């Protein structure tokens, strides 16, 4: 008689509780690995991915079998459950690999010669169930609590007969555990199993197996849902950024075309030059959809834009000064982030001033933060109109919203103004340096990984 049979009822009940605790703990630990998260998110895996998936399932549960053989902790042996999970979630190939891994110690150390053949049987049955199931997402909905599935299956039988896969998966687990118990009783010590002389204990053993299969699926499905939510959140941010950029482009284009149209009759040569500048700006915007560019690229863009504004107002009324710290040009910034600030400085600061003025662009780096400032010596903002100028305008609202989308709370935006002395608008963002050949996705990934 197998040693597990002679154990008292209380010991078997404790073993069943340990089984559930062990499989829940191991499933949670495995779910923490990034590679495993990606593997459970993919339904059609390559051979290499299947091997990696089998290793994630097989290695920790093989240690559980070793603990049962060497330390006599019977509750750590979950060879049937993990083999069924391998077949259901990964297919027959993964199930067989997992089954061979967990049965190897039983054969070599415990001399349980039926462990490997039975593992192959578990894998074949579970893998076939996965193959037959038309919708693989149904597997991730599997729950050991099938009372609702039974009710739904009975109702569906009278309306539109169709198999209820939740019930079928549950019956598969039950039948495999019953088969293990029966084969174990016949073979003696050739196969490990839990059993009792009490029928109700045997029912609990079968139900525990059912729960032990369902628990990891629930845990890992929660990880899949979190992964999907992260992807959806990322796509939402991308959509918001696209919307904000598409908002600022027509705004900038509208104002620039107004400037050019005002010069066509009085100064056609200058209007032609400005059109060439504008075409270069648009060509640069069409070439890239990146939300991040180097500060050097952003300043090059600003040169073309400022040439348009200087031509409009005259070099004697609008002066541009740049104060860029060494090394700042290689830092990555959101694209077209300076243009709305410069446009507001000119429109609200310099234009109302009869004698004109100067717009200063500053960039500095300190303690892994980049500070960008747009300052003018124009008329300034009266305290009562600050919210009107910088709250209701498209440009400033667009800039702050883009910074919030890209950096969350990790940015500082400041507006300082003295009536008659000018206005300074600055923001600080975390420093991000990438190569000039990095794509927008790579830049965004670098930012996400930057503390």
For 373, list phi and psi in degrees, rounded to 5: -135, 140
Secondary structure letter of residue 329 according to DSSP: G
pLDDT of the residue at 222: 86
Residue 361: what pLDDT?
A: 94
Residue 119 has pLDDT above 90, yes or no: yes
Least confident window among 91-105, 226-240, 294-308, 421-435:
226-240
Average pLDDT over residues 53-81: 93
**What are the backbone angles phi and psi of residue 290, rounded to the nearest 5°?**
-70, 140
Report which of 448, 440, 445, 443 is spatially closest to residue 289, judged by C-alpha positions.
Answer: 440
**Residue 161 structure tokens:** 């007969």
* CB-CB contact of 415 with 385 (8 Å): no
Question: Is a pLDDT exceeding 80 seen at residue 376?
Answer: yes
- Residue written as token pair 């919708």: 135
The pLDDT assigned to 259 comes to 75
Q: Does domain 264-449 have CATH number 3.40.50.1400?
A: no
The three-point CA angle 119-120-122 to 5° equals 65
Q: What is the pLDDT of residues 350-369, one digit of tens each?
A: 888 888 899 999 999 988 89
pLDDT at 252: 63
| Residue ranges of the chain assigned to CATH 3.30.565.10 | 264-449
Helix intervals (H) in 264-383: 268-287, 295-313, 339-344
Residue 129, class by beta-carbon neighbours within 10 Å (0-12 exposed, 13-18 middle, 19+ buried)? buried
Both tokens assigned to 156: 């569906």
**Between 8 and 403, where is the model more confident?**
403
Helix axes 295-313, 268-287, angle to 10 degrees: 160
Distance CA 250, CA 254 (A): 6
The region of weakest confidence among 155-159, 409-413, 421-425 is 155-159
Residue 155 has pLDDT above 70, yes or no: no
Distance from C-alpha of 241 to C-alpha of 391, rounded to nearest angstrom: 19
Q: Which residues pair with 430 in a beta bridge?
A: 369
CA dihedral 306, 307, 309, 313 (to 10 degrees): 130
For 346, which DSSP code?
I
Tokens encoding 318: 């609008």
Q: Which of 386, 372, 375 is nearest to 336 (CA)?
A: 372
Spatial distance between the Cα atoms of 63 and 426, rounded to a whole number of angstroms: 58
DSSP designation for 370: E
Alpha-carbon distance 143 to 82, whole Å? 16
Burial class (CB in 10 A: 0-12, 13-18, 19+), 369: middle
Distance CA 275, CA 293 (A): 24
* 275-313 residue pLDDT tens: 888 887 777 666 555 678 889 988 988 888 888 888 777
Which tokens hold the place of 224? 């899949």
Distance in angstroms (rounded) separating the CA atoms of residues 210 and 359: 72
* Residue 99, both tokens: 């089954």
């Amino acid at each position: 008689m197998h040693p597990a049979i002679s154990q008292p009822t209380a010991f078997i009940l404790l073993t069943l509780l340990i089984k559930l605790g062990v499989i829940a703990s191991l499933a949670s630990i495995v779910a923490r690995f990034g590679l495993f998260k990606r593997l459970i998110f993919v339904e059609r895996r390559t051979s290499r991915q299947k091997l990696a998936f089998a290793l994630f399932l097989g290695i920790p549960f093989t240690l559980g079998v070793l603990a049962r053989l060497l330390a006599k902790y019977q509750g750590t042996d979950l060879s049937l459950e993990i083999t069924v999970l391998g077949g259901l979630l990964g297919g027959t190939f993964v199930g067989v690999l997992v089954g061979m891994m967990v049965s190897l110690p039983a054969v070599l150390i415990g001399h349980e010669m039926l462990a490997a053949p039975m593992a192959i049987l578990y894998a074949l049955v579970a893998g076939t169930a996965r193959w037959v199931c038309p919708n693989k997402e149904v597997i991730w909905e599997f729950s050991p609590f099938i009372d609702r599935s039974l009710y739904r299956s009975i109702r569906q039988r009278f309306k539109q007969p169709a198999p209820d896969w939740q019930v079928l998966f549950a019956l598969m687990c039950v039948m495999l555990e019953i088969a293990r118990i029966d084969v174990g009783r016949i073979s003696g010590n050739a196969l490990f199993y839990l059993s009792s002389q009490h029928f109700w204990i045997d029912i609990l053993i079968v139900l525990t197996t059912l729960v032990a299969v369902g628990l990891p699926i629930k845990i890992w499905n929660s990880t899949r849902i979190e992964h999907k939510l992260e992807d959806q959140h990322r796509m939402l941010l991308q959509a918001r950024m696209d919307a904000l950029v598409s908002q600022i482009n027509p705004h900038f284009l509208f104002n620039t075309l107004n400037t050019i149209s005002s010069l066509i009759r009085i100064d056609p040569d200058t209007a032609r030059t400005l059109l060439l500048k504008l075409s270069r700006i648009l060509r640069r915007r069409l070439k890239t959809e990146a939300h991040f560019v180097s500060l050097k690229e952003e300043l090059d863009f600003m040169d073309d834009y400022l040439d348009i504004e200087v031509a409009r107002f005259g070099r004697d009324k609008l002066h541009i000064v740049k104060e860029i710290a060494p090394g700042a040009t290689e830092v990555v910034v959101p694209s077209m982030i300076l243009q709305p600030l410069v446009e507001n400085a000119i429109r609200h600061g310099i234009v109302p001033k009869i004698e004109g003025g100067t717009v200063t662009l500053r960039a500095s780096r300190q303690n892994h933060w980049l500070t960008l400032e747009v300052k003018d010596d124009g008329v300034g903002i009266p305290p009562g109109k600050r919210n009107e100028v910088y709250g209701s305008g498209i440009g400033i609202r667009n800039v702050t919203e883009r910074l919030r989308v890209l950096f969350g709370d990790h940015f500082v935006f400041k507006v300082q103004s003295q009536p008659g002395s000018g206005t300074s608008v600055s923001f600080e963002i975390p420093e991000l340096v990438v190569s000039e050949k990095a794509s927008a996705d790579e830049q965004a990934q670098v930012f996400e990984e930057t503390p």
